[in-house]
Structure 1
């Protein structure tokens, strides 16, 4: 395991970094609930192995009042009754888009479940959010962005 940062991509490509921050601002101003977005961000970060983003979004979830059982159960959300239909549809869609090469057979069914729980606007907003967290994950994993060590609450 190598956790030595490779390079500070934030400073190396500042315009790209600022563009990603702008997309985050747009996502923060969508109609989607922040807790739902952070559940999706945490789950995608788990799949992609992005320790930095996972740590950040778990902390955000805790600040929003999310309990440890739901946070700890994210990898097994399909087997738990802790998530409502809207969250389940969003998590399935996020997983499908994150694992694009592996999920072709299920994407239509996942989209139908999404349509039952979200408006067209929300579907587009959620899809942008999933694409965005995948971008952050890929940059942070590739560059070994370190996780600040501090206690979780």
Structure 2
């Protein structure tokens, strides 16, 4: 597989602003461990190999346990995630694949029982961001692992 277009080279100002947006998310109310899980789950759902590869490596570098990384795809059955993480993953799934009838009340109530309104808002922006990155990288066939050295992801030691 080869990359179709380097959107970042073609639209550098938009790329810069989107990166800045992502950096703001890092200083929000949602802990980085949950942001990593959200990025991984949305990327799995969207079939974005580039983002999945990148976010698994980032999570590993930041101390995430490998077994939990393997369990993100089966988070409902896994005993490795807290109620707060489960709520964030449920919210990620429903905002990534919006149901025709909208977000069910039970999903909202689940996330509302674990996160404040500000946290839900910050989490929703994080989900919006990763879904945007996924669409760029899937559409332009960004090659998984191709930016490892540039982003320092080779430190994950997940060859």
TM-score, normalisation: structure 1: 0.92
Give 1:137's match in structure 2, choosing from 118, 124, 134: 134
Distance 2:141 2:66 in 1: 26
CA 1:113–1:101 in 2, change beyond 3 Å: closer, same or farther? Answer: closer
Partner of 1:45: 43
Partner of 1:101: 99
Is 1:122–2:128 an aligned residue pair?
A: no
Partner of 1:65: 63
Matched-pair contact (CA < 8 Å) for 1:93–1:107: no
SS at match of 1:37: helix
Matched-pair contact (CA < 8 Å) for 2:88–2:123: yes
Distance 2:132 2:6 in 1: 16
Partner of 1:75: 73
Partner of 2:28: 30
1:108-150: CA deviations, max 9, x gaps?
1111011111111100000000000000000001001112266
Structure 1 gaps, min length 5: none
Matched-pair contact (CA < 8 Å) for 1:35–1:61: yes
SS at match of 2:93: helix
Partner of 1:152: 158
TM-score, normalisation: structure 2: 0.88
Structure 2 gaps, min length 5: 147-153
Matched-pair contact (CA < 8 Å) for 2:48–2:138: yes
Q: CA RMSD in A?
A: 1.6
